Structure formats: structure tokens, C-alpha cells
Amino acid sequence: AHDLLAPEDAIANSAIGTSIAYDRNGEYLYEYIDRLGGLRNPVPLEEISQYMIDATVSTEDASFYGNPGINFKGLLRAATENLTPFGPGFFEGSGGSSITQQLVKNVYIEPEKRFDRRIERKVKETVIALELKRKYSDDQILEWYLNTIDYLNFSFGVEAASQRYFGVSAKELTLAQAAMLAGIPQAPGLYSPVVPDNVERAKARQREVLNLMVKHSYITQAEADEAAAEELTYEKSGFFIQAPHFVFYVRDELQKMCEKGMFDPPGDLSCEKVVSQGGLRITTSVDMGLQRIGEGIIESIISSNEERFLGHNGAIVAIRSGTGEILTYVGSRDFFRDDIDGQVDIISAERSHGSTMKPFTYLTAFEQGWVPSTLVRDAPLKLDVGGSQVSVNNWNKRYLGNITVRKALSESVNVSAVNTVMEVGITEF
């Protein structure tokens, strides 16, 4: 254990925290969630409510401030409960882990081995726990512990849990809120209060935590009764997001930048996990004021023309010329509408570029001497493509004969654009 990696380094090698994207003016856009890990927002111990600290110690390891890293009473209780005359031994039962041992399990033991109750894992956990308690202060160990435990609801660590459950920082937790959260880690699937089937169990567990705090003289019985009677309200489970298609575009671009070596990911994180676990704070080029205007334009134009043209979706990108900064990025009419496949980003989807190529077509012609009054043919057209005849049509099946480039472009005439490409030469593009 002499070459034991410091917990902060071990934590950094696995996950530092979730990343947050902001617009160019600092307005919050989105916090990137690790779907398998959840939110991680580490904070120092002084940024955690004393109620939360006391509730956790009372519940998980009452002897924490005096033990050497092992809760001997807990181990004895576990041995008594699990020792059987024909069983494999008390090390393979449950219970008894100190806060330091739980930290070791969360940080040093591989995820797939954390629920392995064989003696080898328990011995490793115990040895590392003893070494940690020898090398580090109680407060430091407690800080690491509170920043790594699972509170369910996509929340790892007390700050993420406080925000997800109650919409407050860990420092702002009340006694009632702290007691509710402190009761979750023992069995997250049973005690998370936002799961409908858990409400009564979670409330009973909160009362257990409060009683333990009274027992260990952290609070009075009157304070416990008052906290137990307090009605708690919980945040909605959805994740707040603005400019949704854009923030996922940013995520993909950051991963590509990392893979190209444009920046080094923190710790030993892979480029694939740098956004969800790298703790980045990302200031983007988008302007939410302009973004909202763009979203309004898309909705207004589509809703007023939906019946006429049978079109249900659209997108906008506004780029600042000269710098290439993306100011507005609306990937669909409504990200949350399944009936229009709203989560599909029309901007970056691999689709035909369609009429967006027409301005470039005529620009190339202008470079060869054409002018807006140059005439171009608009009539039924068939092309030989790979030995097959392919018809080129206008959207309304109407043809205007010889028309000016100005009219062809302003009315987005398909046939005229194709005739221009053939006359200018496709190799010129």
C-alpha cells in the first residue's frame, strides 16, 4: 500500500465531473449527463451542509472520527448476522463497512467487483482503508466519500444529488432534506423518494436517520420531530436544456478535437468520455437571444404554411461572416416532438443539400462572366445517369421556358439550376 494512488488521482482517472455548456454571454445551456454514471459535481467539505455531514456519519459510520478506517462494531455485527455453520464465512455476508471502506470500494475497486463478497476483495478493501485513514485527515476522507456515493436519480455525490432532488446546493440543504438524502445510499433503489413506490419507505428511512442523529447527539428530539413533519418537494426529473441540437453538436466537435490531439483530456479519461466525465466548462459561440429569435422564425413560418405546403419541419443556422462563429443553430422545429422526429438534427443530418446549392451554382457562373440577366433554359429535362434516364422536375411541375438567372434563383427553379451546372461544367465547383 506504500505506492497507493491518492484518492483524488484515482477519482480523476475515472471521472472528474460532468461538463456544462454556456452561450457566449454565460447563459446556461446544458449539463452533459453520463447515462451510465450520472451527474458528478464535486465540492469541498465546507460547501456541504453540516446537517448532511452529521446525518451521513450518524447513519453510515458513527465511529468514523475515532476508528482507524474500519468500523469494528459494524464488522462484528456483520459477522454475527452472516456466519453460518455451512456457509463460506462471514466475509461473504453483508454490512459492516466503514465510510473509509465504502470510499475504497467506490474509488479503488473495479465496478464489476464491488458487490463481490469473497474474502479477497474484503481484505484488499480493509488494507487500503487502513492506509487511507493513516495518510489523510477525517475531513478529507469524508469530502471524497460525499463526492462519490450514489444517490440514484443520475446523481453521484452530494452536490449533484442536492441539485437533482431539491434544486439547491449541498450547502443549502435543510435538516429534513439532508436526512432524506443520507438515507438513500444504503439501498438507493428502495429509498430514493422520487420513485413512486418508495415514498413510504423513504419517509420511514428519513425518520431512522433523524433518530440516529439524536442518538449520537447531533440534534435534539424536538429538531428531529420538526424535520420529520416537514413536507418535502422535489424537482422535476427532466434535464433543463437550451439549443438542444447545438449542444450535442458541440459535444461531438469536442470529442473530435480531443481525438485530433487539440487538447488533452484530464486524468486518464478517453476522448469518448471527456465531455460527460471531464468536468469541462464550455463557452460556446451561440447567442441565446438570437437563438430564441431563430426558433420563433421557424415556428412562425412553418405553422403559417403547414397546410399549404404539407411541410412540418425546418432548421436555421446563422453564422457570423469573417469568423465562422455559429450564432444561431436550430436543428428542428421542436426537439421534443416525436411526430416530426424532432431530435434529428436536420442541419448535420446526411441529407441531400437540395436548393442550398443553387446560390453557389450561379456564383460559379458569375465568375465565368454570367450576369443576373443571363437567360437560362427551364423546360422538361432528362439526364443519362449510369445508363438510366433520370427526369429533372420543378416542385410544381411547371416550366417557364427561357428565364433570367435572377428569376431562376429567386423562384428556386430546379431545371434551370441543373442546366447551369451542365453549361458551366461540374468540375468547376
Please state the separation of Cα 325 from the chain's center in Å: 24
Alpha helices in 183-243, H assignment, sequence order:
188-191, 199-215, 221-229
- How many Å apart are CA 420 and CA 388, to the nearest integer? 21
Q: How does strand 381-385 pair with strand 316-320?
A: unpaired
What are the DSSP calls for 369-395, one per residue? Answer: T--TT-EEEES-EEEEETTEEEEE--T
- How many residues does the structure list for the chain? 429
Residue entry with cell 487502513: 130
- How many Å apart are CA 287 and CA 9, to the nearest integer? 37
- How many Å apart are CA 102 and CA 99, to the nearest integer? 5
**C-alpha distances in Å from residue 277, one per residue of 246, 247, 383:** 19, 16, 52
- How many Å apart are CA 237 and CA 194, to the nearest integer? 8
Options 60, 125, 143, 159, the catalytic residue: 60
Handedness of CA 197, 224, 67, 147 (dihedral sign): positive
Q: Extract the C-alpha cell encoding 100.
A: 473509509
Rounded to 5 degrees, φ, ψ at 360 are: -70, -35
Residue entry with cell 444504503: 186
* 391 catalytically annotated: no
4: three-class secondary structure by DSSP: coil
* 355 catalytically annotated: yes
Rounded to 5 degrees, φ, ψ at 381 are: -140, 135
Other Cβ atoms less than 10 A from the Cβ of 24: the count is 16
Q: Extract the C-alpha cell encoding 160.
A: 449533484
Q: Which residues contact 225 (CB under 8 A, 6 or more apart)?
A: none
- How many Å apart are CA 160 and CA 169, to the nearest integer? 8
400: three-class secondary structure by DSSP: coil
- How many Å apart are CA 53 and CA 68, to the nearest integer? 19
Rounded (to 5) percent helix, strand, coil in the chain: 50, 10, 40
Longest dimension (CA), the chain: 99
Active site residues: 60, 355
